[in-house]
Structure formats: structure tokens, C-alpha cells
Amino acid sequence: MGNNLGAMIRQGKGAEPADMVLKGGSFFDLVSGRVIKSDVAISGDRIVATCGTFKGKREIDISGKTVVPGFIDTHLHVESSLVTPFEFDRCVLRHGVTTAICDPHEIANVLGAPGIRYFLDCAERTVMDIRVKLSSCVPATHLETSGARLAAADLAPFMDHPKVLGNHRSPVGHADPPPGDPADVLLKDAHILGVGVIWIVMIGMIIYTS
């Protein structure tokens, strides 16, 4: 199914059958907070119509189920779950999380740049849309014993990766690199590149049983 604007408009108006229609269920309206009984018409990969009854080239009966937007986890460390990104994807996606924005600083503190590369390689192959904020605190402080130290030169090659949103600012309890440190220079530059982008992520669709 492609994304043809003319077809999307016609299908949204009901002038022609939609590519796919989810029939007999309800959807959760995030604006009003109400669950609304309605078909959901889809053209290509876009929802083009709700609040009505529609015909589709393909129709799926979802009676007794509710369609909700895919959930976005805006900050997590996959490594804290003690599983690989693939296993995390398998376990969490079924619960409605379709996008995860991650800081892989735990694997980065152990393995350095190769750990980030592994994480990004996995992110390109998961069903869930995993986005990465590059780790700016490796190590978090000069008092830590870590397996690696990442400076600007180590992180810069990842900036153009399609799964990278920018860098990750150190959270409360972690110290930023001292002024003038190469990592601090990258942190400031990457923060400028990444700010605001965190919200521009693909939202999927999950169907729940009532």
C-alpha cells in the first residue's frame, strides 16, 4: 500500500473503498478522553477517517476491541532490563509501546563505541521504532571505573545514523563533562542538533481487547 495524496483524500471522504478498514470496534480519542465506537479507515500507512462506517478493499473485524495510538517511552535504558534489544522488542511491543527513545550509556560504559554500534545495528532490525540519544557521560564522573571513555571524536561518527536523535544530556545525579572537555563540546553541539527532534517520531497503532 502506497501513500497517494489523492487516494487518501478520496478514501477519507468515503468516495472510494479504503485500502483497509478496521470494523466494529472503537478508538480512544486522546483529545476528549472518550472511547468512540467507529470504524477506522486506512489508506497506505495513514489513518484517513474515523467517526463513521466505511467500506474497505480489506476489512478486519475488531469487534470488542479498542484502537489506541502506539505508546512512546521517552527515556529508558534497554540494558537495565538485562535482555538484548531484540528480546526487549519481543516482550514490550505487545504491551503497546511502539517507540522507545533510549540512552545506551550502560553498554557504552562497558564496551564503548562498539557497544553503541551494536545497539544501533539492533535498532535497525527491531519491529519497535527504537531511537537513540548518544551517551554523553561515559564515564559519568572521573571517580568511576568504566570499560571505556567516549570523547567527541568517538561519538561524532554516529551523529548521522538514521536512528540517532542527538546526544543525551546527563540526568540528575550525573555530572556533565567539565567545560572545555571534548565531550562537553560535542554535548553542546549535539544538544542543539537534537533539541525538539525527540517528539518527531513515528506513532504506530495498537489494538487492545476491551
* SS3 label, residue 45: coil
Q: Both 91 and 175 in a single domain?
A: yes
- Nine-digit cell at 139? 564515564
CATH value at residue 157: 3.20.20.140
- Nine-digit cell at 42? 486506512
Tell me the C-alpha distance between 193 and 197, whole Å.
Answer: 8
- Half-sphere exposure in the Cβ direction for 18 (13 Å, CA): 29
Q: Both 80 and 96 in a single domain?
A: yes
Q: Both 64 and 80 in a single domain?
A: no
Q: What is the pLDDT along the chain (210 residues), one digit of tens a residue?
A: 556 899 999 999 999 999 999 999 999 988 898 999 999 999 998 999 999 999 999 999 999 998 888 888 888 899 888 999 999 999 999 888 989 998 888 888 889 889 999 999 999 999 999 998 888 778 877 787 888 888 878 888 888 888 988 655 444 444 454 555 544 444 444 443 443 333 333 334 444 443
Q: ∠ CA 108-109-110 to the nearest 5 degrees? A: 90
Residue 209 resides in a domain: no
Q: Both 27 and 77 in a single domain?
A: no
- Note down the domain range covering 144: 71-199
Residue 40 resides in a domain: yes
Q: Omega before 69 cis (within 30°)?
A: no
Q: Both 56 and 85 in a single domain?
A: no
Q: Both 36 and 108 in a single domain?
A: no
Total domains in the chain come to 2
For residue 197, the model assigns a pLDDT of 31
What b-and-e string marks burial along 94-108, b requiring 16 or more CB atoms within 10 Å of the CB?
eeebbbbbbbbbbbb
Structural contact between residues 66 and 35, judged by C-beta atoms closer than 8 angstroms: yes
Tell me the C-alpha distance between 130 and 119, whole Å.
Answer: 10
For residue 2, the model assigns a pLDDT of 54
Residue 206 resides in a domain: no
* SS3 label, residue 160: coil
Closest alpha carbon to 25 in 71, 68, 62: 62
Residue 208 resides in a domain: no
Q: Both 10 and 106 in a single domain?
A: no
For residue 104, the model assigns a pLDDT of 87
